Amino acid sequence: MTKPEALLSLPAGSPASLGQVTEVAGRLARAINTVIEGKPDVVHTAITVLLAEGHLLLEDVPGVGKTMLAKTLARSIDCSVRRVQFTPDLLPSDITGVSVFNQDVRDFEFRPGAIFANVVVGDEINRASPKTQSALLESMEEGQVTVDGQTYDLPKPFIVMATQNPIEMEGTYPLPEAQRDRFMARISLGYPSSRAEVAMLDSHGQVSPLETLQPVTDAATVSAMVRAVRSVFTSDAIKQYVVDLSAATRSSSALRLGASPRASLHMLRAARAHAALEGRDHVLPDDVQAIVLPVLAHRIIPTGETQLARRSTGEVLQDLMRRVPVPAAGR
């Protein structure tokens, strides 16, 4: 049995070095991998999104561990966590909060909703109505909530990790493009390998490893890591490369909806986080290419001809990456 790692914490407001970023991220990955068997790439992407100040959409068939991954990442960090089970009768005020009249003070007081946490796990987000889904838009984009004309800041760091089942359509409301665009990345866990599934039966057969998982860091340290990621150097050539990739999706004949300017910004942030996790203080084209699929695939919409040809959005993106010139060294 693996010995749990000690909690690594930095004083609130103190800066983090890139060495500390890679060390803490490694601890997070090891902790999560003890629960999620055989999915190191998926875990790496989840940590990348956390450090890039994004939100994560977990989309896959039932039973592959979507909610387990979200809960494991949340438990690995010693911070506030709220889980919301999205259902058709869930109200927007259940998420954002509501002003209630207090008889004692003869005034209205605000009671925060489930969104007021560092990590918000939204289970089966597409089961809620569009009105309830829209309650997440302001918080995911601006890190704040407005109720009755009053604006309330959300805690930092802040990440929404939402799950949805793409094949079960009865009783669901598909996420609109505006909502999907606010998720920095979408990942699918897929089925585990035979060896990983046997290991899962062994580790989860009696007691879930999630029950004994201990936090390896805290909210203040994650916030310091986020600030360190923001300082990762990005050259003008890399920024132009990001823009060129987005522009290629907008002009592609295989797509009827390309990447938005928000997608370009998310690519840049994710590339910085990827570079930091690799221990570098600058972004390379390889960092951009590594995050293109999870960041863009859920935002673009293929044409009817592309769908008839059974080409996935991932295949379209791979083709576009081969066509867009990569910045040369020294540019």
Q: For 142-168, what is the mean pLDDT?
A: 87
Q: What CATH number was assigned to the domain covering residues 18-204+215-227?
A: 3.40.50.300
Q: What is the pLDDT of residues 11-49, one digit of tens each?
A: 665 677 888 899 999 999 999 988 888 888 999 999 999
Strand segments, DSSP code E, in the chain are 56-59, 77-78, 81-85, 97-102, 107-112, 119-123, 144-147, 150-153, 159-164, 185-187, 217-218, 255-257, 301-302
In this predicted structure, what is the pLDDT of residue 28?
93
Q: Are strands 107-112 and 97-102 parallel, antiparallel or unpaired?
A: antiparallel
pTM: 0.89
Q: For 72-91, what is the mean pLDDT?
A: 89
In this predicted structure, what is the pLDDT of residue 80?
87
Q: What is the pLDDT of residues 1-12, one digit of tens each?
A: 445 565 666 666
Q: For 135-143, what is the mean pLDDT?
A: 89
Q: Evaluate whether the domain defined by 232-322 bears CATH number 1.10.8.80.
A: yes
Least confident of 138-152, 193-207, 224-238: 193-207
* Arithmetic mean of pLDDT over the chain: 88
HSE (CB half, 13 Å, CA atoms) of 46?
34
In this predicted structure, what is the pLDDT of residue 305?
93
Q: Domain ranges in the chain?
A: 18-204+215-227, 232-322
